[in-house]
Amino acid sequence: MDKVIVYDTTLRDGAQGEGISFSVPAKIRIARCLDEFGIDYLEGGFAASNPKDMEFFEAMRTVPLKHAKLAAFGSTRRAGVTAGQDAGLAAILKSGAPVATIFGKSWLLHVEKVLKTTPEENLAMIADSVRYLKKHGKEVIYDAEHFFDGYRDDPDYAMQTLAAAAEAGADALVPCDTNGGRLTSEVAEIMAAVAARFPGIRLGIHTHNDAELAVANTLAAVQAGARMVQGTINGYGERTGNANLCSIIPGLALKLGADMACKPRLDQLRRVSVLLDEIADQRPLKSRPYVGESAFAHKAGMHVDAVGKVSKSFEHIEPAAVGNERRILMSELSGASNVRLKAGEMGLAFQKDSPEVKDVLRKLEHLEKNGYAFESADASFKLLVQKVLKKHVPFFELQGFSVVVQKADAASKATTVATIKVSVNGQTELTAGEGDGPVDALNVALRKVLSRFYPAIDSVVLEDYHVRILDPETATQATTRVLIDSSDGHDRWGTVGVSGNIIEASWEALVDSVEYKLFLDEQRRQAGEK
Kindly report, residue by residue over 320-335, the tens digit of the pLDDT: 999 988 776 655 555 5
Could you say which architecture CATH assigns to the domain 397-529? 2-Layer Sandwich (3.30)
| pLDDT at 347 (0 to 100) | 58
Can you give the pTM of this predicted structure?
A: 0.72
Bridging pattern class, strands 461-469 and 427-435:
unpaired
Residues paired with residue 99 on neighbouring β-strands, in sequence order: 71, 139
Is the pLDDT score of 353 beyond 70?
no
- Using left for φ > 0, alpha for ψ between -120 and 50, and beta otherwise, residue 96 falls in left
Q: What is the pLDDT of residues 160-219, one digit of tens each?
A: 999 999 999 999 999 999 999 999 999 999 999 999 999 999 999 999 999 999 999 999
CATH 3.20.20.70 spans which residues of the chain?
5-280
CATH 3.30.160.270 spans which residues of the chain?
397-529
Residue 221 and residue 246 in contact, taking contact as beta carbons nearer than 8 Å: no
**449-458 long-range contacts, Cβ below 8 Å, gap at least 24?**
449/420, 449/422, 449/424, 450/395, 450/396, 450/422, 450/424, 450/514, 453/396, 453/424, 453/425, 454/395, 454/518, 456/488, 456/517, 456/518, 456/521, 457/514, 457/517, 457/518
Query: Which pLDDT band, with edges at 50, 70 and 90, does 352 fall under?
Result: low
- In the DSSP assignment, the letter for residue 341 is H
The CATH number of domain 5-280, selected from 3.40.50.300, 3.20.20.70, 3.30.70.20, 3.40.640.10: 3.20.20.70
Is the pLDDT score of 409 beyond 90?
no
In sequence order, the 6+-apart residues with CB closer than 8 A to the CB of 243 are: 206, 207, 208, 209, 214, 215, 217, 218, 229, 230, 231, 232, 235
The average confidence (pLDDT) of the chain is 88
C-alpha distances out from residue 253 to 34, 169, 263, 491, Å: 17, 30, 7, 30
- Using left for φ > 0, alpha for ψ between -120 and 50, and beta otherwise, residue 6 falls in beta
Total residue length of the chain: 530
Lowest-confidence segment of 5-19, 187-201, 417-431 by average pLDDT: 417-431
- CA 117, distance to chain mean position in Å, is 41
Bridging pattern class, strands 480-487 and 492-499:
antiparallel
Q: What is the pLDDT of residues 259-288, one digit of tens each?
A: 999 999 999 999 999 889 888 888 888 899
Residue 401 and residue 421 in contact, taking contact as beta carbons nearer than 8 Å: yes
Distance CA 485, CA 493 (A): 6
- Minimal CA–CA distance to 246: which of 205, 211, 210, 275? 275
Distance CA 518, CA 447 (A): 12
